[in-house]
A and B are shown apart, each in its own frame.
Chain A
């Protein structure tokens, strides 16, 4: 079964750092772009960026460039999303999702992780 399994919910304080993960299984993790999508409470979906695990080529949406870092370790089929200094406005559900076509960036997200809820509060 093709699936993405994300790390668990986190509660953090403003200014703290954080790295969440997304582990793929059931497919060749190296060959498919993988993206991160933010959903703030009660709001819609925003694509943050995508990464190609095979060579770590990363593309960020303009709104998220410089705000987060996307990385991947193909040896363990895992992608990451990290913050160096969290803000209250980072409180949201974060999903990882796979692009449905190998190697290309212009594709829909066909497989989604279960989501990781991040709460940032003092």
Chain B
């Protein structure tokens, strides 16, 4: 199994400041034949189901604010919220879908307001 490890487990950021979450996979999730990283990010607010915000490591889902961005390749990935808003308080998960069935999730990172 591919193991996904996120850091930190939680972080508190002031409104308008940058939040950065890291995700590391135990093996590469880059598929060489199409040069795509099989990595997604989800946002889960309290009492709600998860919501996909990023796929292919850096493609923003339609309707997701552009303050959210994803980067990285191979085994190391980052989700950045460039200017934290109150509505961004949530738990964020990375997920690899390189192996099937898809796929293993990271343990989650809780983002709060400082």
A46 to B107: give the CA distance in the assembly, Å: 10
Give which listed residue, A47, A49, A108, contacts B104 with CB less than 8 A: A47
B96 to chain A, nearest CB (A): 10
Q: Are A35 and B102 in contact (CB under 8 A)?
A: yes
Chain A residues whose C-beta falls within 8 Å of the C-beta of B107 in the assembled complex: 44
Give which listed residue, A35, A45, A110, contacts B101 with CB less than 8 A: A35
Give which listed residue, A44, A110, A114, contacts B108 with CB less than 8 A: A44
Q: Are A107 and B97 in contact (CB under 8 A)?
A: yes
Q: Are B93 and A106 in contact (CB under 8 A)?
A: no
A67 to B84: give the CA distance in the assembly, Å: 41
Q: Are B100 and A59 in contact (CB under 8 A)?
A: yes
Q: Decide if A79 is an interface residue (CB 8 Å cutoff).
A: no
Size category of the A interface is 20 to 34
B interface residues, how many (CB within 8 angstroms): 25
Q: Which of A78-122 contact B (CB under 8 A)?
A: 95, 97, 99-100, 105-110, 112-115
Q: Are B51 and A99 in contact (CB under 8 A)?
A: no
A25 to B87: give the CA distance in the assembly, Å: 28
A114 to B101: give the CA distance in the assembly, Å: 21
Q: Decide if A50 is an interface residue (CB 8 Å cutoff).
A: yes
Find the residue from A49, A106, A115 having the highest chain B CB count within 10 A.
A106
Give A109's nearest chain B residue, CB to CB.
Answer: B52
Known: A45-B93, A100-B55, A106-B38. A112 touches B105 (CB 8 A): no
Q: Are A95 and B49 in contact (CB under 8 A)?
A: yes
Q: Are A113 and B101 in contact (CB under 8 A)?
A: no
Q: Which of A13-49 contact B (CB under 8 A)?
A: 35, 37, 44-47, 49
Residues of A at the B interface (CB closer than 8 Å) are: 35, 37, 44-47, 49-50, 59-62, 95, 97, 99-100, 105-110, 112-115
